[in-house]
Structure 1
Amino acid sequence: MRHAAYVFDAYGTLFDVHAAVRRLAERVGPDAQRLSDIWRAKQLEYSWVRTLMGAYQDFWALTEQSLDFAMAAVRLDDPALRADLLAAYWTLDCYPEVPHVLRTLKASGARLAILSNGSPDMLAAAVRSAALENVIDAVFSVDPVRRFKTDPAVYDLVTTGWRLYPDAVSFQSSNRWDIAGAGKFGFRTVWINRNAQPDEYPDLPPHLILPSLEGLLTA
C-alpha cells in the first residue's frame, strides 16, 4: 500500500461526463459533441460563479440549468430529449479501467473515497450504476459546505472526516483546476490527463501525470 487513502474526483475521472449525450447522439443530431462540450463547460462555470457569489445551488440544479443553456445554444427544442439526457446523467458510464483499479487498490488495504461537486443523490446513483458500492468506503459531496471546488473547505471534508493529514491523501482528478486546488490544500495530486491537454497552473504542479487511472497500480 503506497498511500493511506486514495480519493477520486467523480465526473471526468471515474465517470464519463459525455456518456449521456453519446447514448442519445442519434436523437441529438450533428451537434451532439458540441452540445456535450457546452453542457460540461457551463456546468463547471456555474459552480465557480455561484461559489464566488455565495449563492449555492446543488450540482443537480446546475446540471439542469447548463443543459438548458447548451440546448438553446445549438437551437435544440425537444423536452422529451431533455428529460432523457438528464435521466442518462444519473447512470453515466465509468471508464473501462475504473473497476479493476479501484478493486486492486482496495485489496492493498487503502481506503477509497469520492470527493465531488455532485449532489449526494447523484453520486449514490452513479456509484450504484457502476457497481462500486462495495469498493468505495466513503462519498464526500460538497453539499454540507455549500461551496464547490476549488474552495479549500471542500478538500477539508476528507481530512476532517477521516482525520488524516493532507499529505496522507493521494487525490486523483482529470480536471487540472481541481488538481491545482487540491495541491494547494496539501494533497498529493495525480492528474489523470485523459485527453493529453496542455498543462496549466505551473505554480501548482501535480505530483504525477497519468493518461488513465491504470498507472496508479505501478506508480
Structure 2
Amino acid sequence: MSTAAYVFDAYGTLFDVHAAVRRHAEQAGPEYQRFSEMWRAKQLEYSWVRTLMGSYRDFWQLTEEALDYTLARFPSVDRSLRADLLSAYWTLDCYPEVPAVLKDLKSRGAKLAILSNGSPAMLEAAVKNAALDVILDDVFSVDAIRAYKTAPQVYDMVTTAYRLYPEAVSFQSSNRWDVAGAQKFGFRTVWINRLDLPDEYADHGPDLILPNLASL
C-alpha cells in the first residue's frame, strides 16, 4: 500500500527539546546537559503516569512541573532562570533538515501532519516559529482526547481524521517507545535515532531506522 500520510512526532523529532536549556547554558552552569535530560525525562514520565491513572493535565502543565522538580534536584542552577527556560520552550529550534524534508514530501502529494503530546498552544507556537505552518496539513494534539502516547486512541486520531487504514500511514519519531506504540497500532514506522541509541521493544520494531530525517 502506498503512503497516503506522513505523520511526525514533534518533540525530539522535528524540534530539539534541549534547545531551551542550551540557549541558557552559560547561566545554567556545567551541569546544564544533565539538567536538560532530567527535565525531559520527568516531562515524559508525568505523561505516562497520568495517562495510566486517568488524571490528565495538559503538556504545558507537565512541562512546568517537570522543570520545578528538576530545579529542586539541581540546586546549582539558579531558580531565576525558570521564566527564561519556559519562554524558550515555546520557540524550540527545529532540526536543520526538517523544512526541506517536509517540502519534498509535500511535493509527492501526501498528507503531512504532526501527532504530538504537546498542547495546542505549544504546538502552534513551535510550528509558526519554524515556519512549518505553511507546509503541514494538520497538527494533532492529544489534548483532544486527554490521554498521552502510547495510548492506542492517540494514533487513531490520524486514521479517523484521514479515513485511512493504519498501514497507509508512515509515522516518524525519535522516541523509541513512541515508535513501539505506533507499530502496535499498525502504522508503518520510522525510528529517527538521532543519538545512536540501542534498540529496545524488540517485539515492536520499526520498519526503518534513520539517523535523521534527511534520508526519508
The structural deviation recorded for 1:76 is: 4.4
Q: Extract unaligned runs of 5+ from structure 2.
A: none
4+ residue stretches of structure 1 with deviation over 6 A? none
Which letter does structure 1 place at the counterpart of 2:31?
Answer: D
Q: Note closer, same or farther for the CA distance 1:77–1:29 as it changes in structure 2 (3 Å cut).
A: closer
The 2-side partners of 1:206 and 1:99 are apart by: 23
Which letter does structure 1 place at the counterpart of 2:139?
Answer: V
Deviation by residue 1:53-94 (Cα, 9 ceiling, x = unmatched): 000000000000001111111114644310000000000000
1:171 paired residue number: 171
2:129 paired residue number: 129
1:205 paired residue number: 205
1:8 paired residue number: 8
Q: Is the 8 A contact 2:29 2:77 kept in 1?
A: no
Which letter does structure 2 place at the counterpart of 1:36?
Answer: S
The 2-side partners of 1:191 and 1:79 are apart by: 35
* TM-score of the aligned structures, taking structure 2 as reference length: 0.98
Quote the sequence identity (%): 71
What SS class does the counterpart of residue 203 from structure 1 fall into? helix
* TM-score of the aligned structures, taking structure 1 as reference length: 0.96
Which letter does structure 2 place at the counterpart of 1:183?
Answer: Q
Q: Where does 1:88-127 land on structure 2 (aligned, <5 Å)?
A: 88-127=88-127
Deviation by residue 1:118-175 (Cα, 9 ceiling, x = unmatched): 0000000000000011101000000011000000010000000111110000000000
The 2-side partners of 1:77 and 1:150 are apart by: 32
Q: Note closer, same or farther for the CA distance 1:43–1:14 as it changes in structure 2 (3 Å cut).
A: same
Q: Extract unaligned runs of 5+ from structure 1.
A: none
Which letter does structure 2 place at the counterpart of 1:212?
Answer: N
Q: Is the 8 A contact 2:29 2:76 kept in 1?
A: no
What SS class does the counterpart of residue 143 from structure 1 fall into? helix
1:73 paired residue number: 73
Deviation by residue 1:80-114 (Cα, 9 ceiling, x = unmatched): 31000000000000001000000010011111000
Q: Note closer, same or farther for the CA distance 1:77–1:191 as it changes in structure 2 (3 Å cut).
A: closer
Cα RMSD of the aligned pairs, angstroms, is 0.9
What SS class does the counterpart of residue 204 from structure 2 fall into? coil
Q: What is the aligned residue count?
A: 215
The 2-side partners of 1:162 and 1:118 are apart by: 20
The 1-side partners of 2:34 and 2:211 are apart by: 23
